[in-house]
Structure 1
Amino acid sequence: MARLIAASRHEVEVQPYPLIVFILAPLLALGLQSFVSLHFQRFDILDLPLLVTIYFAITRRNPVTGTIAGAIIGIAQDALTRQPLGIFGICKSIIGYLAASLGVRIDTESHLTRALLTFGFVFLHSGMYWLLVRRLLAQPYVWSWVHELIRALINMVVGVILFALLDLAKQKEY
């Protein structure tokens, strides 16, 4: 059974990354998401900016940084889509805050933990998005449990792979 609680202070320390990774990963995720979604409608089931937000929030383990990163990535995603400005910003800010807050309390180095967190955060993101569009903007938006569960599962699988790739960019401790 995978450990869920961090056993030592070393496990909850912030992992160092080169600054270029913090800049390029969100930019690539946003660019790929907006470009491919324009040409392949089904690609929008995957939310690469959300996965990058989750990853950096759980590895940085700072709720303020997670919130700000989520807001910036979300607003940039809003600007690149036809969504009202701020919807993705609000959703990703909340996810960034929650992911960073949980990153402090549990062991996020385990692939199982990351998979479960990603599934939950993607599903929560979908629920917040529905709530904001439907209630705050009073626009029609249909919720499909099956679609959202499939969406969460696909993002979970891609997220674990993406997280493993981003782990390779960690600076080694000497």
Structure 2
Amino acid sequence: MVSQPRTGPRHFERQLAGRILRSALVRYHLGSRGFVFPTCPVLEKIGNGVRADALVQYWFKQDSYINHDLLNQLITLRETGLELHLATVQEHERAGYLWHTLGFERHFAAIHYAAALGVAKPAQGFFEAIELRTGFQPLDLFFIDDSPCNVEAAIARGWSAAVWDGQTRLIDLLSEHGT
């Protein structure tokens, strides 16, 4: 049996994963608490000097790749009068980061995220909550996602939906689905 070192970055990762991710990620994605609050005591106990807010900001920045080609396609669609909404599995703090810091508020009519809705994709309640928030009927909605499971769930709810593969232009996906 190989023992794991009790210091250094790998130890920190194991401690963080073991104490936070197992207990907090589900709760924070579904809105019962944010990520920073449960992270503070764990980071203090590990004793490495990293502040929770610094860790979260680092994580958000490192995990924030924006596909500018996709964003430009969305902007073009919006300019034709199409109303765009962002539907995502995020907690409150990361949703705020996407919306305000990355500027998604300039491109979408609204953000609908798991923590605010209390349910995550692919659960039917996620899609139902978006219908209630927007006032749109299922037949009025077109959903794109890179996860076939999420697309299948949207279709099961009565939405038009397609898997976005990163190559197909959005206008072509809309056209293929009669939207």
Q: TM-score, normalised by structure 2?
A: 0.34
- Comparing both structures, which one devotes a greater share of its residues to helix? 1
With CA pairs under 8 Å and 6+ residues apart, which has the higher RCO, 1 or 2?
1
Larger radius of gyration: 2
